[in-house]
Amino acid sequence: MIRLIALGLTACLALAGCAGSYAAPEPARPAPGMCDAAAVQSYVGQKASGEAGAAILAGSKARALRWGPPNSAWTMDYREDRVNVRYDAGMTITAITCG
């Protein structure tokens, strides 16, 4: 009986030694192309167009552009590499944000 208990304790100690050797994976690093909406706020109040969108995309250094038409719903997924451009019924840009 004592041998059985000693064997069980030895096995537990051996397994406990393995528990500390696990290294958690390193968190993912942000991808290049992070959005900077502050750099393109001068486009708020201008007309929404393909040319404005290209300039906003380049100026914000984002990888993707998402247009937000009036009275539309957006998904809530957040992407650090995307610039969002909302405009009103008159095609005037009302807000530029990242996400």
Q: pLDDT digit of tens for each residue in the chain (99 aa)?
A: 565 554 454 555 555 555 555 555 654 444 567 999 999 999 999 999 999 999 999 999 999 999 999 999 988 899 999 999 999 999 999 999 999
Q: What is the pLDDT of residue 60?
A: 96
DSSP 17-37: HHHTT--PPPPPPPPS----G
Q: What is the pLDDT of residue 52?
A: 98
Q: What is the pLDDT of residue 17?
A: 54
Q: What is the pLDDT of residue 28?
A: 44
Q: How far apart are CA 17 and CA 32, in angstroms?
A: 40
Q: How far apart are CA 29 and CA 44, in angstroms?
A: 31
Q: Count Cβ atoms below 10 Å from residue 37 Cβ, excluding itself.
A: 19
Q: What is the pLDDT of residue 21?
A: 53
Q: What is the pLDDT of residue 27?
A: 47
Q: What is the pLDDT of residue 76?
A: 86
Stated length of the chain = 99
Domain over 37-98 is classified CATH 3.30.10.10: yes
Q: What is the pLDDT of residue 29?
A: 46
